[in-house]
Amino acid sequence: MSAASADVSCAFSQLLGPNSVDCNVELETVSSLEFDRSGEFLAVGDVNGGITVFRRQVSGLFSRFHEFQSHSMEFDYLKSVEIEARVSKIRWLTPGSATQRRLLSCNDKTIKLWRVGERCQREYTHVPGSSLLPKIHRRTTNTVARPLRTFANGHAYQINGLSMNSDQETFISSDDLRINLWHTNNKNEAFLVVDLKPANMEELSEVITGAEFHPYNCNLLMYSSSKGLVRVGDLREQALCDRYAKVYEDIEGSEPRSFFSELISSVSDARFSRCGRYVITRDYLTLRIWDLAMEKRPVARIPFHDYLRSHLSHLYETDCIFDKFDFAVSPDSKFIVGGTYHGAFTLVPVAGGQPLSFEAGKPKPSSGGFFGSLSWGRSKKPSAIMKPFHFDPVTADFTNKALRCAWSPNDSTFAVASSNRVLLYSQQSSN
């Protein structure tokens, strides 16, 4: 993956991160990323339950817009376990106005609906003894985040999927065994649409790993499983989608049966393409592209971690084989970006060509280590096309993981989270 490619290139554009790489990384490790539909806002969730929202300026660079605490650590007294504050998913809703945005965020058990935006405050002056109405003395504009609703007690297991419907009124949330359908105006009631829980838990053979609504058809939803399957259900047929409409399973390209086969075949991320015609899935080693009209085999298989195939034993011993990597698709659906180890990410041309890896965690500046002195919102314009990074499993740092990534819906900008930093890049085509 180190060879040069005429189809794939990218340039570094901006760093969003703490003042020093030596700060307490654990408290600020990024756990979720999401652009809004306009590409103007970028929400970054962390393991401490906080969300930082960045806004794109006229220059094209992002600056801090607002920061708030979305979730706090709780304790489940029935199960005697702590519920982490980590923000696992963020989903934007269609903006209600030019100054107000709404978003859904969740930790392992609770979903919250927030309104983030600018609020104008007025100060009035009144002359004692005067009959005149008070006059506006000063106007100030502040950014605030206000919780609208809390959707709790809907899941017995950790939430692993959150998706907004195209009607912008309903959304689904999934855990290991069930998928619930919620309405944004009703926090007290959720409808069960998928239930994989058997009568005898010893008969359980697979779990749900994620769920998503179709981008245009509000009646279609899909969910992925630990067996590497993707199922598509139609809410028009029946309220409980126990009998799925279609199932996608790659029998020809499945891994040879081994001790690790079930672990590496589990789908870590699954999404519809922006046009709604394709489904894209990623497991530990491979990325697959499915045509909704063709269930038997994918239209493309893209090796993402093929160089790790001979190191599965070591990855199992270090628990790295259980890592769940995201991916993101460009607005024109021509490129896919996904994270990997050593703080690196891979950029893949969908139509063919050589996938290239680039190091996200340790970019090489032309002079000095400017990454150690930047603060949140400070930026550096791209100076040159980045050089591809050769991934060597022997010397790679498997503790530095780029698990999260997101792509702006309207341009070539994409974000990759490596440890406690978010790095923004611009995909550039040489064609």
Tokens 């489904």, located at residue: 279
Query: How large a percentage of the chain has pLDDT more than 70?
Result: 84
Average pLDDT, the chain: 84
Tell me what pLDDT residue 243 has: 73
Written as one letter, the residue type at 261 is: S
* Digit-coded pLDDT (tens) for 334-385: 899 999 998 899 999 888 777 888 887 444 544 333 333 333 444 444 445 7
Instruction: Return the higher-pLDDT residue of 355 and 402.
Output: 402
At 196, the amino acid letter reads L
User: What is residue 107's three-state secondary structure?
Assistant: coil
Asked whether residue 406 carries a pLDDT value surpassing 90, the answer given is: yes
Confidence of residue 100 (pLDDT cuts 50, 70, 90): confident
Dihedral sign, CA of 286, 351, 355, 364?
negative
DSSP bridge partners of 67:
52
Degrees (nearest 5) of the Cα angle 299, 300, 304? 155
Task: Answer yes or no: is pLDDT of 197 > 70.
Answer: yes
For residue range 101-150, list pLDDT tens digits in order: 999 999 999 999 999 987 776 666 666 766 666 766 656 778 889 999 99
Point out the least confidently predicted range of 26-35, 254-263, 378-387: 378-387
Other CB atoms closer than 10 Å to residue 45's CB: what's the count?
28
Query: Band of the pLDDT at 23, cuts 50, 70, 90?
Result: very low
Strand (E) positions, 175-244? 178-183, 186-195, 208-213, 220-225, 230-234
Tokens found for residue 91: 């989903």
Mapping DSSP to helix (H, G, I), strand (E, B) and coil, where does residue 397 land? coil
Tens digit of each residue's pLDDT (9 = 90 or more) over 62-89: 988 999 999 999 887 777 788 899 999 9
